[in-house]
Structure 1
Amino acid sequence: MDVDDLVAIDVHTHAEISRSGHGSLSPELFGASEEYFRSHGHRRPSIDEMADYYRERRMAAVVFTVDAEHATGHPRISNEEVAESCAEHADVLIPFASVDPWKGRSGVREARRLVAEHGVRGFKFHPSIQAFSPNDPMAYPLYEAIEEAGVPALFHTGQTGIGAGVPGGGGIRMKHADPMLVDDVAVDFPELHIILAHPSFPWQDEALAVATHKPHVHIDLSGWSPKYFPPQLVHYANSLLQDKVLFGSDYPVITPDRWMADFDQLEMKPHVRPKILKDNAAKLLGLA
């Protein structure tokens, strides 16, 4: 990967469909997400198509799925498939994995194997969908393995479009996405690099406090158009957290084209823009 030639690094994109056509979520939850993001009928690109898309834009992208088999009963997309597909496009794609923390010791073994044998560069958690609190000791052996591997853990925070409007929210409890729960993880695993994904509505101030207080906690800006960012998030990104904020889109529900166009309209300091778009991610992911 020629980092110098890249315009940006998108740290938050989803592999929504496998080679065989299997979706990462159930049709009910996919439908709720499309309604929430007003992305009705959007195509679910293959990883090969994602590579072409990002290559055309001279961008790199972190790619992952979500393993929530315990809570949803829906089979995941294989982490190995994601890693192997990304390896075929190593000039633009960076593989993350997702391991359901409810899998216990088998999940820990899988995480270690994915890093050692498949070149996985980080791990994605979605506590609301996976039905666990980030500070539950049940997940700690998995965090320990990730910390030992020296790769980051990315946690969904704040409200989610998945399950929105479905009776009972599809069983998804938003309380698990409070960034203050991840603060405990940052204390108990002080060398673990953490990414708080998304503007963390309704806990934006909490996310900013955690990222300011804990040296290895970052924030990605995915899932929202920048024109809707809370003022305090823009202020901190422009000042205290300028070295810890990362570009993320949430592709394919939000495209980098739309995100970048709206980001151009924000009043950001000129020297901060390249940090958010590429430099901070390159450093965090060991690409710089």
Structure 2
Amino acid sequence: MNIIDFRFRPNTEAILKGISSNPAFKGMCQSIDFNKMLPQTLEEVVEELDRHHVVKAVISGRDCETTYGAQSNNPSVIEFCHKFPDKFIGFAGLDPHKGMAALAEITHAVHEEGIKGAAIDPYLARIYVNDAKYYPIYAKCCELGIPLIIATGPGTLVPNAVIDHVAPRYIDFVARDFPELKIIASHGGYPWVNEMITVAQRNANVYLELSEYEFFPQSSAYIEAANSILSDKIMYASAHPFVDFKLALKNYEQLPLKPEVREKVMYKNAAKVLGLSDGTFSASKAMDAQEVQMIIENVIAQLSQRGLLADR
């Protein structure tokens, strides 16, 4: 069976050092003995993916420079995707506090570098996912016709992170304000399992992957949902190198998924979100100026009604 891994970062020496030295992740890295993960060359990583039938891997960038002082890893994401364009699919990480610079970055990344999506980390930005600072990014993603990964989860041992910033109930606002935007909730919205399931079920544009939390308390509800109401919405992801992708694959073999659902989770659902046809990208429809203007006007009205434009 072909597999798409929707959350993957190559364990090259530079990437491992970048993660372990990031002030946001030092505590977590120490708690899981992250330094035991051995570095590999990019070529070795690709060979291992091939041996395990992982035909595509989504690499999401991260930019939390404003809040944690760590430089964006988007240049590495672009480098990996240029070297192995048939294997890696890049999503550029965006810092909402950078304003227009973030919009310029994603526009350049998509038009000039072949990046296929955007990624945000609200718990690292220390603002809610439906904060007005994010809304220009969402509108730009709609304009470019690209999907968006929203990192959720408890942010274990991340200093000054507030998990409520990424609660699924706030993703629901974004999904309603931007129905054209494909949203992928990374880490399954844990620990709000049932809330995440409900948000994905009620919004056609919301998907999720469960990386790192497949066996946590309450996680059986994810599998029940995958076998029923969310069979087209849940995708496989490893969170490599925090979780070795080979271990993640073994873990998924243990999950009691229906055979037809397993194929969707491991490949088909991700292929649909990414717009893959026979393993290649089919161009997403970018919006024209009139469509973008309509979105902006609707968003301004929604934010104004909620009082979120005050003092801005």
Q: Same fold (TM over 0.5)?
A: yes
CA-atom RMSD in angstroms? 2.3
Match of 1:234 in 2: 223
Distance across 2 between alignment mates of 1:89 and 1:228: 37
Q: Could you tell me whether the CA contact under 8 Å between 1:69 and 1:75 is conserved in 2?
A: yes
Query: Residue 172 in 1 paired to residue 167 in 2?
Result: no
Match of 2:95 in 1: 100
Match of 2:267 in 1: 278
Distance across 2 between alignment mates of 1:40 and 1:25: 8
The one of 175, 197, 209 aligned to 1:208: 197
Q: Which amino acid aligns with 1:143?
A: Y
Distance across 1 between alignment mates of 2:235 and 2:18: 27
Shift of residue 116, structure 1, vs aligned partner: 0.7
Using the aligned pairs only, state the percent identity: 30
- SS across alignment from 2:188: coil
The count of corresponding residues between Structure 1 and Structure 2 is 276
Q: Could you tell me whether the CA contact under 8 Å between 2:81 and 2:90 is conserved in 1?
A: yes
Q: Could you tell me whether the CA contact under 8 Å between 1:199 and 1:229 is conserved in 2?
A: no
The one of 124, 130, 141 aligned to 2:119: 124
Greater shift, 272-281 or 82-91, is seen at 82-91
Q: 1:177 to 1:44 in 2, by over 3 A?
A: farther
Shift of residue 93, structure 1, vs aligned partner: 1.0
The Cα offsets for residues 9-29 of structure 1, whole Å up to 9 and x where unpaired, read as 000113576859861463554
Query: Bigger radius of gyration, 1 or 2?
Result: 2
Distance across 2 between alignment mates of 1:84 and 1:272: 34
Q: 1:49 to 1:146 in 2, by over 3 A?
A: farther
Shift of residue 224, structure 1, vs aligned partner: 2.7
Q: Could you tell me whether the CA contact under 8 Å between 1:156 and 1:196 is conserved in 2?
A: yes
Q: 1:33 to 1:53 in 2, by over 3 A?
A: farther
Match of 2:21 in 1: 26
For structure 1, the residue ranges without an aligned partner over 5 or more in a row are 1-5
Distance across 1 between alignment mates of 2:26 and 2:213: 18
Distance across 1 between alignment mates of 2:178 and 2:40: 35
Match of 2:289 in 1: none
1:109-258 counterparts in 2 under 5 A? 109-161=104-156, 164=157, 169-226=158-215, 230-258=219-247
Match of 1:58 in 2: 53
Match of 1:3 in 2: none
Q: Which amino acid aligns with 2:103?
A: V
Q: Could you tell me whether the CA contact under 8 Å between 1:34 and 1:41 is conserved in 2?
A: no
- SS across alignment from 2:8: strand
**TM-score, length-scaled by structure 2:** 0.81
Q: 1:38 to 1:124 in 2, by over 3 A?
A: same
The Cα offsets for residues 126-157 of structure 1, whole Å up to 9 and x where unpaired, read as 11112221101111111111111111111111
Q: Could you tell me whether the CA contact under 8 Å between 2:11 and 2:45 is conserved in 1?
A: no
Q: Could you tell me whether the CA contact under 8 Å between 2:23 and 2:70 is conserved in 1?
A: no
1:69-84 counterparts in 2 under 5 A? 69-77=65-73, 79-84=74-79
Greater shift, 65-74 or 33-42, is seen at 33-42
Greater shift, 262-271 or 213-222, is seen at 262-271
Distance across 2 between alignment mates of 1:212 and 1:204: 12
Q: Could you tell me whether the CA contact under 8 Å between 1:155 and 1:196 is conserved in 2?
A: yes
More RCO (CA 8 Å, sep 6+): 1
For structure 2, the residue ranges without an aligned partner over 5 or more in a row are 278-312
Q: 1:228 to 1:87 in 2, by over 3 A?
A: farther
- SS across alignment from 2:260: coil
Distance across 2 between alignment mates of 1:37 and 1:238: 31
